[in-house]
Structure 1
């Protein structure tokens, strides 16, 4: 076994918990990208490489694929919930955040179609609860007289998420916005919630 030595001839200092938090965040970001590019069955080794860590570090944080998918989904749901809790939250702004997540994360699309998660019951069970949280956040901002009822809103989100296909983020965003337009729903700027 070889030891990593810095240029000055000494071992790098152990960053401890700071490195752990940084590595976990890098793994979640890498997983979002890799899942968007290659789907939920992408090799975990590709995620570790993209995050700049070894597979041992990946497994230390996420013992299996389901745990990693759950972490990506949880982060996505938190974006929607934080946007819903903002003082200036409106349905169009929430739909803009939601659309950004759909464009950026294939795992998030899988969440919204949790009933079709196939044989991955571990992912399907977790996805159902997270999907309910997204729907709750959206319904709380559905204004009276909106063209969509609460039940229709859930169906509209599923329909739009099914339209989010294409080789580039621009293609996926264009298709998502076209789908919302066809449904007659106003969507705010497509961007992450930035607090």
Structure 2
């Protein structure tokens, strides 16, 4: 009911589009992953800029954090996480010191540091964790969600 209220629709409308809470959560997480894919497709995109988008999502969604930690019993979660890994692999320069698996491990490690009462507090901790790992991260930002174009 809180989701329907925030979206400005009735619960009936929400359930006409999503069979249950899991379907709704999956749709939200899929949109998060699509934003990361769009970030990687932008001109001049590199690993740092894409990690900025990944980190922005990490600081705002515990469900996204759980997704990137990949629990073995959730097929949809594994598929979405594999898409993120693919994006990061594509963004890695051939001579980079890290592999895509290394970067996914770093993302999981940073996600463990993301705690705090506000997005700003979580961002500070996430950026500190990236610095400790010696990985550069671009500006933390979402990606425009409009599909117009």
TM-score by length of 1: 0.70
Q: Does 1:149 align with 2:99?
A: yes
Summarize deviations over 1:117-138 as a string: whole Å, max 9, x none: xxxx5xx211110000001001
Q: In 2, distance between residues paired with 1:178 and 1:85?
A: 27
Q: Is structure 2 residue 82 aligned with structure 1 residue 126?
A: no
1:71-121 deviation line (CA, Å, top 9, x unaligned): 1011000001111112211000000011111112222112112217xxxx5
Structure 1: stretches of 5+ with no match in the other structure: 1-44
Which residue among 40, 57, 68 is the counterpart of 2:13?
57
Instruction: Point out where structure 2 has 5 or more consecutive residues left out of the alignment.
Output: none
Aligned to 1:187, the other structure's residue is in SS state coil
Aligned residues: 145
Larger Rg over CA atoms: 1
Contact kept in structure 1, 2:85 and 2:101, CA below 8 Å: no
TM-score by length of 2: 0.91
Alignment of 1:1-195 (within 5 A): 45-115=1-71, 124-194=74-144
Cα contact 1:72–1:107 (8 A) shared by 2: no
